[in-house]
Amino acid sequence: MKEKLTVVTSTCVPLPLENVDTDQIIPARFLKATTKEGFGDNLFRDWRYNKDGNPNPDFVLNQNTYKGEILVAGKNFGSGSSREHAAWAIGGYGFRIIVSSFFADIFKNNSMNNGLLPVVVSPEFLAEAFETITADPSVTLTVNLPDQTITNNATQRTEHFDINAYKKDCLINGLDDIDYLLSNKSKIEEYEKSL
Amino acid sequence: MSKTLFEKIWEKHVVDTLPDGTIQLYIDRLYCHEVTSPQAFAGLRSRGLKPFRPDKITCMPDHNIPTLGQERPIEDPISKKQVDTLEENAKLFGLTYYGMNHPKNGIIHVVGPENGLTQPGMTLVCGDSHTSTHGAMGAIAFGIGTSEVEMTLATQCIMQRKPKTMRIVVDGKLKPGVTAKDIALYIISKMTTGGATGYFVEYAGEAIRNTTMEERLTICNLSIEMGARGGMIAPDEVTFEYLKGREYSPKGKDWDEAVAGWKALCTDEDAVFDKEVLFHAEDIEPMVTYGTNPGMGMGIKDSIPAMESIDEAGRISYKKSLDYMGFNAGEPIQGKSIDYVFLGSCTNGRIEDFRAFASIVKGRKKADNVVVWLVPGSWAVEKQLKEEGIDKILEDAGFQLRQPGCSACLAMNDDKVPAGKYAVSTSNRNFEGRQGPGARTILAGPLVAAAAAVTGVITDPRELMN
């Protein structure tokens, strides 16, 4: 069972860069673990820490200004490598929602398989979110998964977001695909007989 | 009803369809490497399960392994543990395992095709985004996350949404000195890194039809770099000729039957794609990248795009990218001095890539200012290039061969490019830090890599061709 996800209202961490690839989210040299724990410590490692290992004060995660369970990122977030470690790193750090105008496919699946919800918003919603959050870091967004809506509480701009019914159900109830697939095993055996 | 190649294979593998359209898809082959599988095996064990169809699974370490001294145990204890974990899991569950230094070991996306494990009409997954490579053989092949590896281990199925379909036609004939890598980097530069996200791509057209099997593997390998779920090419005589006689290819009467079936794997004439894109082969030049994603590519004689040509929302990222590379908008990169050259990876680590590299360096000498890593994609590639005497040509020119593995493509082993240094690399990603923290990667094909290795600067390989 994964943690259930329904409605989240939170302040946000803005990352207005485009094409953030999974090598930036978690560099390859940190992929050598055999468990899923601890990846949050190295989230955005090479942006977050200088070469000498000290925190880079210019990077958003090192600024006390921005905190929260929602990461707001530029378009095409999570491109590149299929490493699920990227989702483990973001979830491990404490984020539950990622908001962007565009996500890479494999990253999107990996996130949802780990109780981390990628919310696709319009470029206008995203631009406004960056603007309001940087003007006032106490601004919150509300993501309502059952209703499939996201609201910028500073401006009351609300948008509907898409998610398929199956994945929505999994996230709300903390279920995963294996639970479902195992319950459907007789169909797999039937299919194999037809080959 | 008319169907695309993708639809024909996909529909044959649908086990069940949920009311919301989510598909339970049957998987014919699962490849496992050491980095993205340990948590999946652990999950399987914690649920008290075993692999559902162990005969459909092949395992090999490739990401972590050193490219020197494979005869000895891996020195880095963390890498060693990850590799050992894969071996233990494979043994425990009775899975086929090609360990480090095994004659069949190599990069999983090189080894699969060369052993006939990948075949037309299959569905194939691996916890690695470059699984798209195998689509070159007329299969639906795509990268998945570790949760999905666990699903496949447990049930030989994964839950998927059906992607949209796109056909990319490259018509006409390539100019001399232009390789499959250049075709792919050209397409990605036009499509951008997210331009095919949500789509499964079929490559078609005269220029694609005229490629060899290995060139097709290079093109499909890079599909993910424009965001595509995967890329594929309809199987034809080139595919059948390549597969015939390989270890896992069907034999005798089974072969004839298989080929008859594979011949039907093509897009029907009036089938409809969600998107169609057309490129002309004669527009393609030897390509190089100048930025920090594979979409930031250009012809080797071109100049880096001016800041004004970038849309406003993207300018912060564009500037960050050029600053990282130490390049200026508007300048050419031909003639720039480089420090490292890497020939290898699942993109360009096959025998034809080594032949291409050797064709340029033959009779020349390695430039003094350049460190060159030549890493065959598998032991089979290494064996073949020795049989062909390519190793001698390389040695005479001052180069040394290393042992197979993913190597400097993602620098999980010791093959790391130092911070600030420039590497001309035949791999697939020029992301920040991809080849080592602070490393600056210029992606290119094997001919451009060879030209850089002997001149020490970014050089148009056509100037060195007879």
What are the structural domains, with CATH classification, of chain B?
5-275 (3.30.499.10), 287-463 (3.30.499.10)
Q: Which of A1, A17, A18 to mutate to test the interface with B (most CBs of B within 10 A)?
A: A18
Q: What are the C-alpha distances in Å from B310 to residues A13, B296, B307, B318, B332? A: 26, 12, 6, 8, 17
Nearest to B129 by CA among B81, B196, B76: B196
CB contact under 8 A, A83 and B43: no
Which of B15, B49, B194 is nearest residue A187 as measured by Cβ atoms?
Answer: B15
Which of B26, B155, B432 is nearest residue A46 as measured by Cβ atoms?
Answer: B432
Q: Which of A46, A52, A79, A148 to mutate to test the interface with B (most CBs of B within 10 A)?
A: A79
Q: Does pLDDT of B413 surpass 70?
A: yes
**CA nearest to A167 within chain B:** B22
Q: How far apart are CA B187 and CA B116, in angstroms?
A: 28
For strand B287-289 and strand B440-443, is the pairing parallel, antiparallel, or unpaired?
A: unpaired
Nearest to A84 by CA among A125, A46, A119, A36: A36
CB contact under 8 A, A28 and B229: no
Extract the tokens encoding B367: 């430039």
Stretch B77-95: mean pLDDT, rounded?
Answer: 98
- With contacts defined as CB-CB under 8 Å, which chain B residues touch A110? 145-147
**CA nearest to B291 within chain A:** A19
CB contact under 8 A, B143 and A36: no
Which of A19, A102, A113 is nearest residue B317 as measured by Cβ atoms?
Answer: A19
| Cβ proximity of B410 and B327 under 8 Å | no
For residue A1, what pLDDT band results from cuts at 50, 70 and 90?
low
| Cβ proximity of B190 and B279 under 8 Å | yes
For strand B287-289 and strand B199-204, is the pairing parallel, antiparallel, or unpaired?
A: unpaired
- With contacts defined as CB-CB under 8 Å, which chain B residues touch A164? 20-22, 161
Q: What are the C-alpha distances in Å from A128 to residues A121, A151, A156, B370? A: 11, 11, 11, 48
| Cβ proximity of B196 and B261 under 8 Å | no
**CA nearest to B437 within chain A:** A46
Q: Does pLDDT of A2 surpass 80?
A: no
For residue A3, what pLDDT band results from cuts at 50, 70 and 90?
confident
3-state SS assignment for residue B390: helix
- With contacts defined as CB-CB under 8 Å, which chain B residues touch A181? 24, 151, 154-155, 157, 159
* B 301-360: CB under 8 A from A: 313-314, 316-317, 320
β-pair partners for B2: none
CB contact under 8 A, A51 and B24: no
Answer whether B148 touches A (CB < 8 Å): yes
CB contact under 8 A, A106 and B429: no
Q: What are the C-alpha distances in Å from B154 to residues A109, A186, B50, B124? A: 18, 13, 7, 15
CB contact under 8 A, B35 and A31: yes
For residue A68, what pLDDT band results from cuts at 50, 70 and 90?
very high
Task: Compute φ and ψ for B206, nearest 5 degrees.
Answer: -55, -45
CB contact under 8 A, B145 and A185: no
Stretch B376-398: mean pLDDT, rounded?
Answer: 98
pLDDT in the model for residue B156: 98
Which of A36, A46, A76 is nearest residue B193 as measured by Cβ atoms?
Answer: A76
Task: Encode pLDDT of B201-248 as tens digits.
Answer: 999 999 999 999 999 999 999 999 999 999 999 999 999 999 999 999
Percent with pLDDT over 70 in chain B: 100
Give the CA angle between residues B336, B337, B340 to the nearest 5°: 125
Residue A5 distance to chain B (closest CA, Å): 18
Task: Encode pLDDT of B306-330 as tens digits.
Answer: 999 999 888 999 999 999 999 999 9
Provide the H-helix boundaries in B297-388: 315-325, 345-348, 351-361, 379-387
Q: What is the dihedral of CA A89, A92, A97, A102, to 10 degrees?
A: 0
For residue B1, what pLDDT band results from cuts at 50, 70 and 90?
confident
| Cβ proximity of B97 and B177 under 8 Å | no
* B 66-95: CB under 8 A from A: 78-79, 81-82, 85
Q: How far apart are CA A92 and CA B111, in angstroms?
A: 34
Report the mean per-residue pLDDT for chain A.
Answer: 96
For strand B29-32 and strand B23-26, is the pairing parallel, antiparallel, or unpaired?
A: unpaired
DSSP readout, A7-34?
EEEEEEEEE--SS-BHHHHS-GGG---S
- Of residues A117 and A1, which shows the higher confidence score? A117
pLDDT in the model for residue B313: 82
Task: Encode pLDDT of A138-182 as tens digits.
Answer: 999 999 999 999 999 999 999 999 999 999 999 999 998 998 999
Percent with pLDDT over 90 in chain B: 99
CB contact under 8 A, B431 and A23: yes
Task: Encode pLDDT of B152-181 as tens digits.
Answer: 999 999 999 999 999 999 999 999 999 999
pLDDT in the model for residue B44: 97
- With contacts defined as CB-CB under 8 Å, which chain A residues touch B158? 177
Question: What number of other Cβ atoms are within 10 A of residue B174's Cβ?
Answer: 19
**CA nearest to A187 within chain B:** B15
Extract the tokens encoding A61: 């995660």
| Cβ proximity of B341 and B308 under 8 Å | no
Answer whether B212 touches A (CB < 8 Å): no
